[in-house]
Amino acid sequence: MQDHVYKLLELTGTSATSIEDAVEKAIKRAHKTVKNLSWFQVIETRGNIVKGKVQHWQVTLKIGFAVED
């Protein structure tokens, strides 16, 4: 197995549906422009409340990707 060097991106995905959807949206968007996505870590989860209900989720994550030689 080859040793890798990784770089981290910090992104915030948003969704009116769910935390998981916010994560998926952030990863899908990063995948469009960054190669070798390998893993992610949820850093923070936030949301806003309207009339006693969650209206929107915001999930900040770090996404790791291997740096090419």
Question: Domain span at residue 44?
Answer: 6-66
Residue 1, pLDDT > 70, answer: no
Residue 21 in any domain: the answer is yes
Residue 1 in any domain: the answer is no
pLDDT digits (tens, 9 = 90+) for 15-30: 999 999 999 999 999 9
Query: For residue 25, what pLDDT is reported?
Result: 97
Residue 54 in any domain: the answer is yes
Give how far the C-alpha of residue 18 lies from the chain's centroid of Cα atoms, to the nearest Å. Answer: 13
Q: What CA–CA distance (Å, rounded) separates 69 from 66?
A: 9
Confidence band, pLDDT 50/70/90 cuts, at residue 69 = confident
Q: Strand ranges (DSSP E) for the chain? A: 6-15, 37-50, 53-66
Identify the CATH number of the domain in which residue 55 sits: 3.30.1660.10
- Domain count for the chain: 1
For tokens 């197995």, the residue is 1
pLDDT digits (tens, 9 = 90+) for 6-60: 999 999 999 999 999 999 999 999 999 999 899 999 999 999 999 999 999 999 9
CA-based end-to-end distance of the chain: 15
Query: For residue 48, what pLDDT is reported?
Result: 95
